[in-house]
Amino acid sequence: MRKLSLVAASLGLFVAAFSAAATSHEKLAAQAHVSMAEARSIALKTFPGKIISAELEKEHGGSGLRYSFDISAAGVVHEVGVDAKDGKVLENSIDNGKD
């Protein structure tokens, strides 16, 4: 019975954390004037290839809200950042995997 309570409590914490992350993402998406699809198109025009990751994040530069894409082509991965409010390209650089 004790194990079941522990599992239920752990699951509850996981659900709460996931829900908070989803709510945070929804708040960011509501602030964006450029959709994820539009930003993907802009990023792929900037560096053609295959998008291997995409996220909407708060970060310094531009309006402070940006889409970040890792795009792979010919064995090179570029990070392309697109401002979520005006669609301007904020970054187009080789992603060395270090943050």
Most confident of 16-25, 50-59, 90-99: 50-59
> What mean pLDDT do residues 78-95 have?
94
- What is residue 28's predicted lDDT score, i.e. its pLDDT? 73
- Domain count of the chain? 2
Residue 88 scores a pLDDT above 60: yes
Structure-token match 């802009």, residue found = 42
> What mean pLDDT do residues 57-83 have?
91
Range of the domain at 71: 33-99
Please check whether residues 5 and 37 belong to one and the same domain.
Answer: no
Please check whether residues 54 and 20 belong to one and the same domain.
Answer: no
Please check whether residues 19 and 40 belong to one and the same domain.
Answer: no
| pLDDT tens for each residue of 17-50 | 544 444 566 777 778 899 999 999 999 999 999 9
Please check whether residues 55 and 93 belong to one and the same domain.
Answer: yes
* Full-model pTM: 0.71
Please check whether residues 27 and 39 belong to one and the same domain.
Answer: no
Please check whether residues 78 and 62 belong to one and the same domain.
Answer: yes
